[in-house]
Homo-oligomer: A and B are copies of this chain.
Amino acid sequence: MSRTPSRASPAPLSGAGSQLQPQSQRRPPRAADGASIAGVAEQAGVSVATVSRVLNGHENVRAATRDKVLAAIDASGYRVNELARNLRTAESRLLLTMVPDFGNPFYAEIVRGIDSVARQHGYFMLLCDTGADPGRERSYFDMLRRRRADGAICLDPATIQQALGEASQALPWVACCEFDPEMGVPYVGIDNYRAAGDAVRHLLARGHRRIGLINSDVDYLYARQRQQGYLDAMRDAGIAPDPHWRMNLNSLDYAAGASAAARLMQRPDAPSAIFAVSDTLAIGVIHGLRSVGKRVPADVAVAGFDDISLAAQIDPPLTTIAQPMRELGETAARLLLQRLANPQANVPGVLLPHRLVIRGSA
């Protein structure tokens, strides 16, 4: 059913740009100046094959010849046309990274990790903000089939990944942070279940028994895993947590955390501690708590998740679970590169360690 979309029709530019276009030549514009490899070959008095060999650092070129070619390149200011090279070598040297929201500092650091590894290996990273929308996700995935990108790293909710269907498994991609081990797609992440348990056990050790959970959307596997970690840690402590202490939010931004916390505090048996599954949420929670007159941690303790750089800077500094964000990104990129280099080797899933960071908020 999904038919190849015709080229996105560029919406007309508001204003200028339409009327004055007498340069509508019959053929694609030629390279600005440096022209093509043929021009260099001619200038240097060699064949295009030789120029190509020099360009690609092949060994079998006489030093004198190479110098002639190099001189011609310098003189003409020639730059290789990667459009042509890409077609010929059948690779775009682009790696896709799909994130649900790159405004979130958590993703920013992961993306940095991906980018740095990609670059080291001669790839560029194309960052795509899917907004956790299945439609957009699907259309980005299609870039793989259209050879616009050589591979992809997906950080979108596991539910969305699963909705991609069987066919997607043949495509060169890996999952990062969010993954379904059953899908047969390489992945990297952390043990969310244990990490959440660690956070809750810390709160319990501080004497709290009424602990709230401010969670994200259950489309995220990590949300379900962390909830289970919370539930089991509570149960192991002999506590039956009130379901009203749990909230699921469809946004991770500060404001969402703030209003959720305020709402939570309206309950008669309001929690004395809150575990938020993201630092951005937790920071909002602290703000929301203050807005209803609660002190942190005196009245209500707060624990977050991720350890973004901001966590240490707010007041009070945030107790949180640190994820190795940079390494998460680097590992994802390396797994993808492995899969690209060797398509049939089966790449493993890998789990990285987390760490409880105790600061002032809980």
Contact = CB atoms under 8 A, between A and B. Distances in A.
Interface of A: 1, 3-4, 6-11, 13-18, 20-21, 23, 28-29, 31-32, 34, 54-57, 70, 73-74, 78-90, 92, 94, 102-103, 105, 108-109, 111-112, 115, 120-122, 124-129, 142, 145-148, 170, 253-255, 258, 283-284, 286-287, 290, 309-310, 312-315, 334, 337-338, 341-345, 347
A115 B87 contact: no
A82 B147 contact: yes
Contact of A9 (B6, B29, B57, B94): B57
5 contacts: A6-B56, A11-B120, A83-B86, A103-B112, A314-B314
Contacts of A10: 121-122
Contacts of A23: 343
Contacts of A342: 16-17, 20-21
A167 to B, nearest CB: 9
A13 B74 contact: no
A83 B87 contact: yes
Given A16-B338, A338-B16, A7 B122 contact: yes
B309 A290 contact: no
Given A146-B81, A310-B254, A3 B70 contact: yes
A255 B313 contact: yes
Nearest to A34: B145
A84 B127 CA distance: 22
Nearest to A337: B13
A103 B92 contact: no
Contacts of A124: 126, 128, 148
B86 A28 contact: no
Contacts of A9: 57, 122
Contacts of A115: 129
A286 to B, nearest CB: 8
A16 B138 CA distance: 30
Contacts of A78: 4
A312 B92 CA distance: 42
B253 A82 contact: no
A32 B78 CA distance: 34
A345 B258 contact: no
A55 B4 contact: yes
B253 A57 contact: no
Contacts of A4: 55, 73, 78-80
A255 B18 CA distance: 49
A104 to B, nearest CB: 9
A100 to B, nearest CB: 13
A1 B90 CA distance: 30
A105 B283 CA distance: 15
A315 B156 CA distance: 32
A114 to B, nearest CB: 11
